Structure formats: structure tokens, C-alpha cells
Amino acid sequence: MSIAQSFFEALESLSGNKLRSGLTVLGIVIGVAAVIAMLAVGQGAQASITGSISGIGTNLLFVFRGDPGDNIRNPKPLTLGDADALRDQFAAPSIEAVAPALQGNGIVSYGGEQTSPQLFGVTPEYFQVRNLNVAEGELITEEHMLGRASVVLLGSEVANTLFGRVNGLVGETVRIEGQPFRVLGVLETKGGGAFGSEDNQVIIPFSTAQARLIRRNTSDRVDVIFVQALDGDVVTQASDEISQILRTRHRTPVGADDFTVFTQQDLLSTFETITGILTIFLGGIAGISLLVGGIGIMNIMLVSVTERTREIGLRKALGARKRDILTQFLTESSLLSLIGGMIGIVLGWLISFAVGQIAAASGTAFTPLVGIDAILLATIFSAAVGLFFGIYPANRAASLEPVEALRYE
């Protein structure tokens, strides 16, 4: 029996009981659609997060107090002196700019509305290092620093919460922890970042934060130092220079650093690992439904073998070989799986598209990505499910003795 003949006989057999075949295919459809939709969501999340981080620049480094394992007790704090030392072009030729910052939280209010964004006290270099620009207004300058000016830059999310808009806000007055601040400008929309949403933050001059809002136990203490390397190729060299300078200043032995240097690439790799695991997890969960669909195929094929026992016996009595019967039933199970797989691919793409539209309508910068790899994986897996779960029923049919099969009532 040729493959084409087996295919047409399988179509005829399945079309003889359309409802049962349709319900069996439905299990595969749901499984394949779930796999594709889940993988698309996972890959879309990964692309969104890594894209936001990459947008800041690959030559950015973060310096924090303490070590990742908390093995150093009472680590020395980072200071403005540390930041000044990192600006030394002879000791750190790979560093282009340094921006110390204070970080905290505060209640920002206006006209009965309030929110609790991240609060940063920064120097003018911060905007170059973090690749930040304003949609309107101006950035913080040295004059604002020297005068401890009560000015603030609002993230777009904060502006929307307080004013319901992001335009025409320059000169307005908001209150931060009850103190009045004049709006200097509104930052461009950036999305997610290493420190949470880049849009849910307010930025004030470092000197103002130090004196009025984010007080520390020493006047020169900072929470984080942002460092910009000359380019992405010298990030590793810049990291080594930072470590050497801080070890000398903090007088720590090698291997006992009381500070941590993160590169943007480190953060990017971490997020890619996390989202990759999430994608695999979502795909695995969806794969369970595909497995259930395969069990449905086995069930329906076993029923079909039982119903067609006399037909099988007659075929074998007329000269059909065991291989012919095996091919016939495997073709039927594979065809069920293949039809379900193709419909599932279309349904999975539609679900991904709908999720993307819902995300866009809610203002979330997230687009599910349906990759060729996901389609191929779902197709191959669905075909494999059809073959695997069709083997037992097909073998059972092929192993029937002609005499016993003809006697079957």
C-alpha cells in the first residue's frame, strides 16, 4: 500500500465520523495553540526587557556598596571622594563620565493626586551616563546644584498620574514629602530598566536631595555611582580600573571587596537567563495540554481499532500485510495530529496578536513574538505526539489474527 493510498483511506475513515475526529483534533489544537502563545509571550517579554536595558547603553557600569554574597560586615560606604577618584584620567583612562547619586522614595503630590515614585538626587553628569533626555523643559545644571534649587524632573508615568498629561507642565509646582518643587521638565518615556520603571521616577539636584530629602549619616555618602566607559569594548577594563581604585581607597585585601561593580551586560545576561527560564517554563506548562491531546488520539484510535476489527480481519484475509495495517492506522493518527497542529498554529498566532493588542491598549510596551522556531517546535512535537500515541493502537490492529478478527462481533 502506497503512502498516498494510505493518506486518502485515512481521510475517508476520519470523515466517516466527523464529530469524533473533530473533538480529537481539538485537543491537539488547544495544545499547539497554547505552546505557540506561551512561547510568544515569553519571547516578547524577553525582547521587551532586554531592549529597554540595551537602550540605556552597553557601556554603563553600576557601583554599589557591599558585595553580592554579603560576606563583608560593615562595608565602607561609597562617597563623593570615591566618585572624584574615579574621574582621574590617569588612574582610570577607560572611564568617560562618573555620576554619584542618592536614591530613595518619597510621596509626590499635586492637586489631591499623589504617587510614590523612586526619588533620585543626581549631578548633571547623570543624564549623560544614563542616556536620559527631556521631552520638554531642561535638565538639571551646575547652577541648580550650587543653589540647592527646589526643581524636579518628572518621569512620564509620574506626570500622567499627577496631571493626566505629559505636556505643558514646566513651571508647575508639585510637593515632594510636603515640600514645594518647581517642575523643570518631563523625561522622555523609557520603559523598564535595571532599577524598575524608568518612567516612575523623579529627579532632583544632588545637593537638594542631600540637604532636604535623602539624608545620610555622613555628608559625602552616596548610594550608587554610575560610570560610563569610553565604549562597549573597554567595559571590562573600566570595571578593573574601578575595582583597583576603590580597593586602594577602602584598603580592602584582594578577594574581600566591600563594593560591587555591575556592568550593563551583567544585568542584561541576568535578565535574559530569567526570561529564558520563564519561557521554557511556560512552554512546558503548555506542552502538558499537547500531551493530553495525544492521549486523546490514542483513545480514539483504540476505539477505532475495536470498531473496525472485522474490517481489519477482512483486509488481512484478502492479503493485506501487517505493515499495511500498521501504516494505515499510523497515517490516521498522524493526520489527526497534523490537522490539529496547523489549526493550532493559526489559533496560537491569533492569541498572541490579541495579547499584543491588549498590552498596547493598556499602554504596556510589550509585543509577543511568534518565532519560526516556536512554529517548527509545535509542528514537530504535534506530529511526534500523533506518531507516538498512534503506535500502540496501530500495532494492536496489525497484530490481530485474521480468523479471530473475522469472528469478532
Predicted TM-score (pTM) of the model is 0.59
Q: Nearest-CA neighbor of 64 among 55, 72, 56?
A: 72
At 301, which amino acid appears?
M
| Nearest-angstrom CA–CA distance, 75 and 62 | 17
Task: Quote the pLDDT of residue 306.
Answer: 66
Task: Quote the pLDDT of residue 318.
Answer: 63
Average pLDDT, integer, range 255-276: 72
Residue 181 pLDDT > 80, yes or no?
A: yes
CA dihedral 115, 57, 48, 113 (to 10 degrees): 10
Whole-number average pLDDT of the chain: 76
Give the DSSP H or E segment for 189. Answer: none
Question: What totals of helices (H) and strands (E) does the chain contain, helices first?
Answer: 13, 16
Q: Which of 98-107, 141-150, 230-239 has the lowest mean pLDDT?
A: 230-239
Query: pLDDT, tens digit, for every residue of 189-201?
Result: 776 555 556 778 8
Contact predicate 203/120, CB 8 Å: yes
Listed in sequence order, the DSSP H helices in 57-114 are 80-86
Neighbours of 158 (CB within 10 A): 26
Task: Quote the pLDDT of residue 234.
Answer: 78
Task: Quote the pLDDT of residue 312.
Answer: 62
Residue 245 pLDDT > 60, yes or no?
A: yes
**Residue 180 vs residue 3, higher pLDDT:** 180
Average pLDDT, integer, range 298-313: 67
Q: Nearest-CA neighbor of 335 among 392, 388, 387, 391?
A: 387
Which three cell numbers, joined as nine digits, stand for 338? 497534523
* CA distances in angstroms from 116 to 61, 106, 158, 181, 183, listed in the order given: 26, 6, 9, 15, 16
| Nearest-angstrom CA–CA distance, 204 and 108 | 12
Domain boundaries, the chain: 3-54+269-407, 76-257
| Nearest-angstrom CA–CA distance, 208 and 406 | 95
**Residue 59 vs residue 364, higher pLDDT:** 59
* CA distances in angstroms from 247 to 35, 70, 230, 356, listed in the order given: 50, 17, 22, 48
Task: Quote the pLDDT of residue 41.
Answer: 79
Helix axis angle, 309-317 to 322-361, nearest 10° = 140
Task: Quote the pLDDT of residue 305.
Answer: 67
Query: pLDDT, tens digit, for every residue of 336-366?
Result: 778 888 888 888 888 888 887 777 776 666 6
| Nearest-angstrom CA–CA distance, 224 and 214 | 13
Neighbours of 285 (CB within 10 A): 12
Q: What is the rounded end-to-end Cα distance, in angstroms, of the chain?
A: 27
Task: Quote the pLDDT of residue 364.
Answer: 64
Looking at residue 120, what DSSP letter applies? E
Q: Which of 12-21, 35-44, 108-117, 211-220 has the lowest mean pLDDT?
A: 12-21
Query: pLDDT, tens digit, for every residue of 60-101?
Result: 888 887 665 555 556 677 888 888 888 888 887 888 888 888
Looking at residue 261, what DSSP letter applies? E
Task: Quote the pLDDT of residue 314.
Answer: 65
| Nearest-angstrom CA–CA distance, 136 and 166 | 9
Q: Which of 298-312, 320-334, 337-351 has the lowest mean pLDDT?
A: 298-312
* CA distances in angstroms from 178 to 108, 199, 213, listed in the order given: 8, 22, 10
Contact predicate 288/295, CB 8 Å: no
Average pLDDT, integer, range 151-169: 85
In the block, cell 578593573 appears at 240
Task: Quote the pLDDT of residue 296.
Answer: 75
Residues pairing with 205 in the sheet: 122
Task: Quote the pLDDT of residue 77.
Answer: 79
**Residue 214 vs residue 310, higher pLDDT:** 214
